[in-house]
A and B are shown apart, each in its own frame.
Chain A
Amino acid sequence: MSLLTERTNNDVTVSSTATAPQRPEPTPTTRSKVRAWLGAWWVLIPLAVLVAWALLPGLFTGADPITGVPQEKLSAPSTAHPFGTDHLGRDVYARVVHGTSQTLMTAGLACLIGSVVGSLLGLLAATAGRFADSVAMRFVDVVLAIPAFLIALILVTATEPGPFSLGLGVGIASIAAFARLVRTEVLRVRARDFVQAALMSGGGYFSVLRRHILPHVIGPILALLAVDLGAAILAISGLGFLGFGSPPPTPEWGLLISEGRQYLTVAWWLTTLPGLVIVAAVMLTATLGRAISKTFRF
């Protein structure tokens, strides 16, 4: 068993030695508790700012993201306009802040679809017998064989560009990762003695699943969810950059960069600064994923 745990949690084993000295501290004070929490979960603070950008953009910027001041067009970053202004004199920082909700909601929709459908599929594959397993896994192979990008494109071709079809397309593509992860994890847990014991003492399918298997599987799912959110942000901003997201006046991260591309020679800030926000957002979700898998290791 030790070999199996080591294989599945290999990235954690290295870091556990680094955090080990903190643990045996006798009677932790409030301050050290806060520090330990911060050490593990500091990433939640910048992510909370990002969520606040999405929910209450007005708190973070007074500038209007849609109508600009033509006299101030294409001005370089300054204290008044931290990210500069675009060709219509719109504040780029305001557009990034207001675009957060669009990008995060589309990415959230994708993650929701991917995680719910993928987890159910993985669960079914691991617990509903051999036939269900081969059907579900062949389906996953097919989804895996068609790149996320093309699944989203088929949907956009057939319907029309917009956040919903993008989210749906990217979500369908991420089903495969969740299904595979959940299947492996459930298979690993169901081989343990306590699951056998629960089954032998008369536990039904759903009760054993809920009480004995799911609690052990939820950690990896949450970790993948965080990583997947980052991947979805990347995919959606890429598709938005190509023009398959919301139509122009809407501020969306990918679209912002695509608009700034036309002014590449005169205004570097139009592409560079919104891009840095995307990089930061994706890195933060990846860090959150690592923090979750550290906490929920089993």
Chain B
Amino acid sequence: MGGYIAKRIGQALLVILLAYTAVFLAVQALPNDPVTIFLSADSSADPATIAQMKAYYGYDQPLIVQYLNQLGGLFTGDLGYSLSSGSAVSTRIGEVIGSTLILAGSAFALAIVLAVLLTAAASLSRNNTVRKALLNLPPLMISIPVFWLGLVLLQILAVQLGVMSLFPDGSLLALAVPIIVLAIHLSAPIAQVLIKSVQEVNRQPFVDVLRAKGASESWIFYRHTLKNAAPSALSIAGITVGTLLAGSVITETVFARAGLGQLVLQAVTVQDIPLVQGLVLLTAAAFTVVNLLVDLIHPKLDPRIITAHAGSPRALVV
């Protein structure tokens, strides 16, 4: 068990380091350095200004020095400086991250609840038509673009019914609707996997034994099936954290909310590469940490995961 935890933590650190390196190399592979790109839209910038700014932000140093400097900065929480505002990237992210964390966190929690409810309703429903309709819901939900769902809800609630403002006004509905929109989008893949894995568990003989012993369907579902089906849904829930950010950016745009979304869009529009780099690193770290947590919870739900470890394959032809 201890070996498993250590191995997974090591892997997670390696992935974050590699993600950082990949982004760093991608930036270096650009035809120009970040300062030149940032100033390319500004016609008044002369070569002397560019050189001065490059020296100021350290882009004139050899690659390896830049790499190690930036890497060293990571350990102290220093992500470099935003070119568009001159303040630290970590400050700019810190200013707006709260609102996004509330949106993304609640949406994630609601998505899991929605997925479990949907699976429970689909598995326990006795009516065949209702069950079929519920089973077809996740593929439909996954096909709906977040921005479109948000706009249609705004159209209905704000324009047709007039119960909600088009812009965030602090009301309960203005907070709840974005969360629901994002949660519907996130819950679709989780529900899909959970339903599939519940169906698989239901085919196992132990369910027949439980039924023969007189357990009710809902008892079997909540006490046995769900528990056995949870691990695979948990893995997918971990992976949806990646789409959570894209979803948040789009949701924030649709509902005109302040947050990381606006910062990302701004950074991309003014070509502020250090800021984009910081945001990418933050997301990659968040994704990796959540998935590390998922992997650490996994053996608690299903201890077989540690023993059934498949090694890497040998070469096909030596």
Q: Chain A: residues with CB nearer than 8 A to chain B?
A: 7, 10-11, 14, 125-130, 132-134, 138-139, 141-142, 144-150, 153-154, 156-158, 187, 190, 199, 204-205, 208-209, 230, 234-235, 237-238, 241-242, 244, 254, 257-258, 261, 264-265, 268, 271-272, 275, 278-279, 282-283, 286
Contacts and interface: CB of A to CB of B under 8 A. Distances in A.
Contact of A257 (B147, B159, B312, B316): B147
Interface stretch (B46-54, B60-68, B237-245): B237-245
The secondary-structure label for the interface of chain B is: helix
Contacts of A242: 249-250, 253, 265
B23 interface: yes
Interface of B: 11, 14-16, 18-19, 22-23, 26-27, 30, 37, 139-140, 142-148, 151-152, 154-155, 159, 166, 196, 199-200, 239, 242-243, 245-246, 249-250, 253-254, 264-265, 267-268, 271-273, 276, 279-280, 283-284, 287-288, 311-317
B148 A130 contact: no
A261 B143 contact: no
Given A157-B267, A209-B316, A271-B152, A264 B166 contact: yes
Contacts of B243: 147-149
Contact of B245 (A129, A150, A258): A150
Contacts of A208: 316-317
Nearest to B14: A138
Contacts of A154: 23, 26, 276, 280
B144 A279 contact: yes
Contact of B268 (A11, A139, A157): A157
Contacts of B264: 150, 153
Contacts of B311: 130
Nearest to A161: B268
A138 B143 contact: no
Given A126-B313, A238-B146, A254-B147, 11 more contacts: A126-B316, A130-B313, A138-B14, A138-B15, A138-B18, A146-B283, A234-B145, A237-B145, A238-B147, A254-B145, A282-B143
A297 B27 CA distance: 43
Contacts of B147: 238, 241, 254, 257-258
Given A145-B287, A149-B245, A205 B276 contact: no
